[in-house]
């Protein structure tokens, strides 16, 4: 299909025709479908378009589109997604973003995001996460926190955290 045929389908086709067109079109044509009215078409576009053309979809109203964007976009663009309303999008951003941005997510309202931060952040920041309200976050912290801070976690309310601290301390 030519680019003009593709644009014609986008302008005049029903959902099925537009979806099929973005599924089969040359990826370079997909920039014309970034603002399609249907989220399923935009989702397909986000999964196929080149990563450098994903920026217009960063604020898509459909979280599944934004999630695909967070998983595929150039990592330098991820700071624009750190305040996304979907914790899954913030989690995907935390998986790939440069470590220097992770401190801004240390107090994210969702534990799954904070766990990912604890798994990736520079160890020097972990001491600021030892009192997190979620045991699974503290567990992730206890696995990586520098040895000199382990005593601060030895009396944690979570048995699994105390066990990890005891195990790591015994190896010193």
Structural domain count of the chain: 2
Residue 172 in this model has a pLDDT that exceeds 90:
no
Question: What is the chain's mean pLDDT, rounded?
Answer: 97
Which residue range is the domain that position 38 belongs to?
1-90
Q: How many Cα atoms within 13 Å fall on the side-chain side of residue 123?
A: 9
Of 64, 90, 116, at which residue does a domain stop? 90
Asked whether residue 73 falls in the same domain as residue 114, the answer is: no
pLDDT, tens digit, for every residue of 43-82? 999 999 999 999 999 999 999 999 999 999 999 999 999 9
Whether residues 80 and 159 share a domain: the answer is: no
Residue 171: pLDDT above 90? no
The two structure tokens encoding residue 37: 């009215």
The CATH number of whichever domain residue 16 belongs to comes to: 1.25.10.10
Mean pLDDT, to the nearest integer, of 135-157?
97
pLDDT (0 to 100) of residue 85:
97
What is the structure's pLDDT at 37? 96
Q: What is the DSSP letter of 82?
A: T
Is 133 found in the same domain as 52?
no
- Residue 14 dihedral angles phi and psi, to the nearest 5°: -80, 180
CB 69 within 8 A of CB 88: no
Let me know whether 81 and 107 are in one domain. no
pLDDT digits (tens, 9 = 90+) for 74-109: 999 999 999 999 999 999 999 999 999 999 999 999
Give me the pLDDT at residue 12, please.
96
How long a stretch of residues is the chain?
172
More confident residue, 172 or 18: 18
Last residue of a domain, one of 90, 115, 139: 90
* Same structural domain, 125 and 43: no
Q: Are residues 104 and 85 in the same domain?
A: no
What is the distance between the alpha carbons of residues 75 and 57, in angstroms, rounded to a whole number? Answer: 15
């Amino acid at each position: 299909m030519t680019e003009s045929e593709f644009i014609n389908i986008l302008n005049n086709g029903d959902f099925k025709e537009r979806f099929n067109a973005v599924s089969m079109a040359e990826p370079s044509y997909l920039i014309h479908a970034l603002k399609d009215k249907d989220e399923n078409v935009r989702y397909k576009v986000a999964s196929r378009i080149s990563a450098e053309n994903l920026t217009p979809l960063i604020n898509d109203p459909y979280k599944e589109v934004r999630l695909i964007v967070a998983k595929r976009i150039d990592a330098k663009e991820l700071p624009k997604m750190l305040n996304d309303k979907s914790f899954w999008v913030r989690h995907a951003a935390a998986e790939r973003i440069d470590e220097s941005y992770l401190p801004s997510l240390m107090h994210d309202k969702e534990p799954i995001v904070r766990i990912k931060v604890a798994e990736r952040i520079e160890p020097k920041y972990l001491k600021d996460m030892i009192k997190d309200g979620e045991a699974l976050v503290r567990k992730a912290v206890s696995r990586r926190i520098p040895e000199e801070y382990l005593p601060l976690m030895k009396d944690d309310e979570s048995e699994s955290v105390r066990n990890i601290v005891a195990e790591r301390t015994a190896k010193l």
